Structure 1
Amino acid sequence: MPPELYQQIDRQALFNLQPELRGSVSNGEFKSETNIEIITSLKPDFLPVLYPHLNNAPASLHQLSQSEPNNLGFNTESWLALQVKQPRLPVETGYCSFWDYLNLSVINNYISDSANFNSAIINFSQDWTESHLQSITDETIAKSLDKITKGLLEWIDSSIFAKT
């Protein structure tokens, strides 16, 4: 899809792409001249609605979209964005969402399989922390050095003026 369309999806958090559920972008920022891909999965509770149409999915889904345009399976809220990526050489840029870490069958059965749900939360949190830790650390060090430098300059200035 064109980057402009992705920006709209990003702003409106379509496909359940809430900012707090996104991992860090790897390998730089998205470029405006290259298409962006979103890998999605239908929420498990909507699969039974589409299951009868899987024999000839493209034709059946087209017919279903014409006959039932308000079918919830066609709403972006019914889909989960797993990954967002932009193919570029030598490596692609992109990120995974929390949904990519989660076995989607757990969404409907999270109470009976809380270990899998907890594991997804832990893995997503660890990856998010690792990817953000360096920038947080760098920012904290830079702010501390800036405060120390300003303090030293003020002390030097006050020392010079005190002597004159």
Structure 2
Amino acid sequence: MGMLIQSVASINPLQLWSDSNSPVHLQNATVTLIQQDGEIIECRLSFPVTPELYHRIDSEALFNLKPEVRTPLTNSHFQPELDIHIEATLKPDRLPLLRPQATNAEEAAFYLSNLSQQQASSPDSYIPSETNHPFTLLETENWLALSVKQQQNSGEIGYRTFWSYVSPQTLNGNSVSEEELSENITRFFTDVVGGSLDSAVQEFADETVGTLSNFFQELTSKSSLNPSMFQTVLNFFTEDDWPFTKIQGDLALRSAFQGKNGTWDCYAKVREAQKQFVFYSICSVNAPEDKRQAIAEFISRANYGTIIGNFELDFIDGEIRFKTSIDVEGDTLSSALIQSLVYTNVMMMDEYLPGILAVVSGESSAVDAIANIEGE
């Protein structure tokens, strides 16, 4: 598991929208972005509200503040003259809308602020049925409240919700196991009932378990329909029985391929923010300095007429590779697309590898090597 990286930025003001199409005005909010292996796994929003606004949030169950997912209020009662602080996390099925727009909290805050201004200036431009519209990031129903707190002279009071008991990885749908979910629910109910399970509490527990089960079923369904690009790539190479290793700190995999004419390393890399996937076959030999002009001619001749992909030469160290790539902005990366790019790539390297080796060794000129391969 990669290291978690957290960044924080302020956003002020911010306008969200409720199911009743009524705005929720927030001041002095803070955006926290949590990333793992370069991918956003959680986006949190923290903000103070007046007691009047909290009453509305409470009564309308905004930010999914349903009674059945709250722990009891600790120590005292909220005082009417002090602000109440709420921390919420973005629903995981909304993260794909944010990932292409932000690599840190400042960029996330800037993007949400711009969306808020656009929505405020033209509130009728968004139709609620457009489930994948960026404006859904501004809907309170797409945020899960984690905690509600108020700082009083006697100390902090407040309550937590079930969502604060769940790790970002689980909430993100990457590892929703029955064992982990059961443990989370157990810890939640321990705080809710304090070990007392009378019939009334049991009824409450049954209702809560139903609510949570429905949520995670929906989460798993959406996650399977809209996996991250990197997860799609992982799934492909796993299902296609490729041995590979994950490159630490990058959305990339390293593998090897054995063709008819040799064996070489391959790299599969995802650029989530740019919605791009690239696959490389790295030639098993580098071109020595005195052969790089000849190899440059060889790959230039090889590239001419090639429809998918191209050979590349690094003049600094002589590395030779074949690259295939795709940009899926506005679309979805599928296993079929990955398969086409990967196998086109390795077949091209395998076909031209004898010519590369002949030119590198000095056994053939670039012209003759290409002629031998292409039958000219």
The normalised TM-score by structure 2 is 0.33
Structure-2 residue corresponding to 1:14: 62
| Contact 2:92/2:173 (<8 A) preserved | no
| RMSD between aligned residues | 2.4
Structure 2 residue corresponding to 1:63, chosen from 89, 114, 117: 114
Identity of aligned residues (%): 40
Structure of higher CA gyration radius? 2
Q: Which moved more, 1:27-36 or 1:70-79?
A: 70-79
Give the distance between the partners of 1:10 and 1:123, measured in 2 at CA: 24
Which has the larger displacement, 104-113 or 117-126? 104-113
Q: 1:41, 1:80 within 8 Å by CA — same for their partners in 2?
A: yes
Query: What residue number does 2:71 align with?
Result: 23
Q: Compared with structure 1, are the counterparts of its residues 52 and 111 closer, same or farther at alpha carbon in structure 2 (3 Å cutoff)?
A: closer
Amino acid at match of 1:9: I
Q: Give me the whole-angstrom Cα distance separating, in 1, the residues matched to 2:148 and 2:196.
A: 18
SS in 1 for 2:88: strand
Contact 2:73 2:158 in 1 (8 A): yes
The answer on 1:97 being equivalent to 2:145 is no
Query: C-alpha separation between the residues in 1 aligned to 2:69 and 2:116?
Result: 29
- Aligned counterparts, 1:138-149, within 5 A: none
1:115 Cα shift? 1.5
TM-score (norm 1): 0.72
Alignment partners' CA distance in 2, 1:132 and 1:90: 28
CA contact (8 A) 1:14 1:77 kept: yes
- Where 1:38 maps in the other structure, the secondary structure is strand
| Amino acid in structure 2 at the alignment position of 1:63 | N
Name stretches of at least 5 consecutive residues in structure 1 with no aligned partner: 137-164
Cα separation, 2, equivalents of 1:120 and 1:112: 11
Count of residue pairs the alignment pairs up: 134
CA distance in 1, matches of 2:113, 2:175: 35
1:41 match: secondary structure: strand
1:74-85 matched pairs, under 5 angstroms: 74-85=138-149
Secondary structure, in 3 states, of the residue corresponding to 2:180?
Answer: helix
Q: Which letter maps to 1:45?
A: D
> Amino acid of the residue matched to residue 87 of structure 1?
Q
Matched residue type, 2:194: E
Offset of 1:57 from its aligned partner? 2.3
Structure-1 separation of matches of 2:61 and 2:195: 22
More helix by share: 1
SS of 1:87's partner is strand
Higher relative contact order (CA 8 A, sep 6+): 1
- Give how far 1:111 is off: 7.7
Rounded Cα–Cα distance in structure 2 between residues aligned with 1:29 and 1:131: 23
